[in-house]
Amino acid sequence: MAVMTTDRPQMTLEAFEAIAITAEREDVTLEFINGRVGVKPVPDGDHGEIIMWLLERCLQQRPDLRLHPEQGLRVETYRSGLARPDGSLVPRRTFAGQGEWSDPSGVLMVVEITSFDPDTDRRDRVEKPVAYAQSAIPVYLLVDRDADAITVHSEPEDGRYRSVVTLSYGHTVVLPEPVNITLDTDELKDFAR
Domain membership of residue 76 as a residue range:
43-191
Neighbours of 28 (CB within 10 A): 13
What are 109-130's pLDDT values in tens digits? Answer: 999 998 876 666 677 788 889 9
The answer to whether residue 12 is domain-embedded is no
Q: Is the pLDDT of residue 158 over 50?
A: yes
Do the Cβ atoms of 109 and 140 come closer than 8 Å?
yes
Q: State pTM to two decimals.
A: 0.78
User: Would you say residue 23 has pLDDT above 70?
Assistant: no
List the CATH number of the domain containing 100: 3.90.1570.10
Is 61 part of a structural domain of the chain? yes
Give me the pLDDT at residue 2, please: 46
Q: What are phi and psi of 65, to 5 degrees?
A: -115, 160
- Give domain status of residue 117, yes or no: yes
Q: What is the rounded average pLDDT of the residues 47-59?
A: 94
In a domain, 155, yes or no: yes
Number of structural domains found in the chain: 1
Is residue 71 in some structural domain?
yes
Q: Confirm whether 28 is domain-assigned.
A: no
Is residue 128, in this structure, part of any structural domain at all?
A: yes
The answer to whether residue 126 is domain-embedded is: yes
What is the number of alpha carbons within 13 Å of residue 170 lying toward its C-beta?
5
